[in-house]
Chains A and B, each alone.
Chain A
């Protein structure tokens, strides 16, 4: 058996855009941003003796009179309309608790899911008792943020056929800050697989369904065996996502697709090697720059 060895090296993220050295807008906790009292206090700041002070390490963002500090790495801060992928952690009375990489577990109310049998179905006490039949602990779902509670917890809903329980596929957990906000987060990629880019940094890769299942209300999961070629495409996509994330490239359909295209002449398992990763990400960034014009 051939063994593969390499020496330890310091990995630097590759970037074709200008390097961000000596940036003035980076602050650390306790740094005074301004002592001018005309500004408003945003996230990541606090007022100490009338001076606006940073409380996290990151980048200062100014919108008119509002000053925020955005940390490099943080948990998911949900907003209404965000698409999330999450895992059921608890089944309670009339609601499910969902782990979404947020500060608190999110809530999926029984009244905000589509039960089999159409829109107008009444929710009876029986439904409350059979909740575990629809979703049980450990199941993965895709959902949309319906509202945000005052303590920061999210309320989700799956009242659309595109949301619901997830069947066979691969979950990749990345940093929420790497996901680019877009019109749609559901993509049928031309390479033969589909992808849900959750705003919370959870990415779901699955084989493209043959036809859209109807009347299932999002609880139908196919248990058909997935073909080897589909599985290979999904594994390649997963490794591409990890490569892009390692070099902090924003994730959206085009960047993932370009990365997939750049990786085709490597074996799937080789994509995880640092030098191959670097090469692929370099090619992807080149393609993205060319496309921008």
Chain B
């Protein structure tokens, strides 16, 4: 039953995409987007930490219709090539994969293609900026992220899910890493893009932020945008990331309250 509904909404989104190509706007005159959000509004978050018992840390995150599962193992002894050992810090190993059923068209390879490898590298760079790796010399931290359903902003949802998983594993971080994808339409920045918006020829930008200090962990943009608009777009992305951080903060605190051992003392 749920599957049927999902297929319908996905079909509906595609239909909207066609309509857009035929002239429908991503942002209506009243200031609403395709899915009824305002320009700066984020999608609905649903998250759970500690979903697996066997892993050191794990988390499940839904951001709108994009769903991701993140698992963290470590810090543990470096497996495989001895040459990867760093004597002053831990190595972070990331793997990004997409379930074969996550997109409208069935994927052939869940991971290992060029796009996934690039995404893994970006995740690695993001978490090397946030995790205090110098505390664990000669060890390795594995972060595995899987997209179960893809509806835009895959990178951002992965970063947010992985942040929750790393916190669940008890690995020290400077701050949360929050990520958000923003786009620029009709002189207006749109926060947290969905698939229909991402695919609609919008210049989009993904930003991972350490919100308290305002440091940028990763900034990625592979579309064309006029230089004058860049500042406004980054500003909007930062605001959105700070919004994400508030939501993640709530999730972690809720989890802490529930999971803390009621001490007898």
* Contacts from A to B (Cβ < 8 Å): 15, 17-23, 26, 28-30, 44, 46, 48, 55-59, 71-75, 89, 97, 99, 103-105, 151-153, 177-178, 248, 250
A278, chain B: closest CB distance, angstroms: 15
- Could you say which of B132, B210, B260 has the most chain A C-beta atoms within 10 Å of its C-beta? B260
B7 in the interface (beta carbon within 8 A): no
Known: A56-B167, A56-B172. A21 touches B137 (CB 8 A): no
Please determine whether A23 and B167 come into contact, CB atoms closer than 8 angstroms: no
Known: A48-B174, A71-B170, A73-B169. A26 touches B260 (CB 8 A): yes
- A-B contacts, 18 listed (Cβ < 8 Å): A19-B262, A20-B262, A28-B252, A29-B174, A46-B174, A55-B132, A57-B256, A58-B260, A59-B260, A72-B259, A75-B56, A75-B74, A75-B75, A75-B170, A103-B139, A151-B137, A178-B261, A250-B261
0/1 interface trace, chain B 33-64, chain A, CB 8 Å (1 if under): 00000000000000000100000110000000
CB closest chain-B residue, reference A245 = B53
Q: How far is the CA of A46 from the CA of B131 in the complex (A)?
A: 12
Task: Count contacts on B: residues with CB < 8 A to the other chain.
Answer: 38
User: In the complex, what residues of B have CB within 8 A of residue A153's CB?
Assistant: 138
Inter-chain pairs besides A28-B167, A57-B168, 15 sampled, C-beta below 8 Å: A17-B262, A26-B260, A30-B212, A55-B172, A55-B174, A57-B170, A59-B260, A72-B261, A73-B50, A73-B57, A74-B170, A75-B76, A103-B136, A104-B77, A104-B139
**Interfacial residues of chain B within 214-265, with CB under 8 A of chain A in the complex:** 249, 252-253, 255-257, 259-264
Please determine whether A20 and B260 come into contact, CB atoms closer than 8 angstroms: yes
Q: How far is the CA of A153 from the CA of B75 in the complex (A)?
A: 12
A87, chain B: closest CB distance, angstroms: 12
User: In the complex, what residues of A have CB within 8 A of residue B260's CB?
Assistant: 20, 23, 26, 58-59, 72
User: In the complex, what residues of A have CB within 8 A of residue B210's CB?
Assistant: 30
Please determine whether A56 and B171 come into contact, CB atoms closer than 8 angstroms: yes
B131, chain A: closest CB distance, angstroms: 9
Known: A15-B262, A151-B138. A56 touches B170 (CB 8 A): yes
B176 in the interface (beta carbon within 8 A): yes
User: In the complex, what residues of A have CB within 8 A of residue B256's CB?
Assistant: 26, 28, 57-58, 72
Q: How far is the CA of A22 from the CA of B50 in the complex (A)?
A: 20
0/1 interface trace, chain B 153-175, chain A, CB 8 Å (1 if under): 00000000000000111111111
B80 in the interface (beta carbon within 8 A): no
Q: How far is the CA of A72 from the CA of B50 in the complex (A)?
A: 11
B200, chain A: closest CB distance, angstroms: 35
B213 in the interface (beta carbon within 8 A): yes
Please determine whether A30 and B257 come into contact, CB atoms closer than 8 angstroms: no
User: In the complex, what residues of B have CB within 8 A of residue A26's CB?
Assistant: 253, 256-257, 260
Choice from B75, B175, B211, B212 contacting A103 with Cβ under 8 Å:
B75
Please determine whether B257 and A20 come into contact, CB atoms closer than 8 angstroms: yes
Q: How far is the CA of A75 from the CA of B261 in the complex (A)?
A: 17
Please determine whether A46 and B172 come into contact, CB atoms closer than 8 angstroms: yes
Q: How far is the CA of A44 from the CA of B139 in the complex (A)?
A: 18
User: In the complex, what residues of A have CB within 8 A of residue B263's CB?
Assistant: 20
User: In the complex, what residues of B have CB within 8 A of residue A103's CB?
Assistant: 74-76, 136, 139
A49, chain B: closest CB distance, angstroms: 9
Known: A56-B167, A72-B256. A17 touches B264 (CB 8 A): yes
Q: How far is the CA of A58 from the CA of B257 in the complex (A)?
A: 10
CB closest chain-B residue, reference A289 = B264
B69, chain A: closest CB distance, angstroms: 18
Choice from B77, B132, B261, B262 contacting A105 with Cβ under 8 Å:
B77
User: In the complex, what residues of A have CB within 8 A of residue B212's CB?
Assistant: 30
Q: How far is the CA of A23 from the CA of B139 in the complex (A)?
A: 34
CB closest chain-A residue, reference B172 = A55
- Could you say which of A17, A19, A56, A103 has the most chain B C-beta atoms within 10 Å of its C-beta? A103
Choice from B56, B136, B167, B257 contacting A29 with Cβ under 8 Å:
B167
Q: How far is the CA of A105 from the CA of B77 in the complex (A)?
A: 6
User: In the complex, what residues of A have CB within 8 A of residue B168's CB?
Assistant: 57, 73
A16, chain B: closest CB distance, angstroms: 9
User: In the complex, what residues of A have CB within 8 A of residue B132's CB?
Assistant: 46, 55
A121, chain B: closest CB distance, angstroms: 31
Q: How far is the CA of A32 from the CA of B135 in the complex (A)?
A: 20
Please determine whether B173 and A55 come into contact, CB atoms closer than 8 angstroms: yes
Known: A15-B262, A73-B56, A105-B77. A44 touches B172 (CB 8 A): yes
Q: How far is the CA of A171 from the CA of B138 in the complex (A)?
A: 28
0/1 interface trace, chain B 68-83, chain A, CB 8 Å (1 if under): 0000001111000000
Please determine whether B170 and A58 come into contact, CB atoms closer than 8 angstroms: yes
- Could you say which of B170, B175, B249 has the most chain A C-beta atoms within 10 Å of its C-beta? B170
CB closest chain-A residue, reference B259 = A72
Q: Which 10 A-B pairs have the closest CB atoms?
A: A71-B170, A55-B172, A74-B170, A30-B175, A105-B77, A29-B173, A20-B262, A103-B75, A26-B256, A248-B261
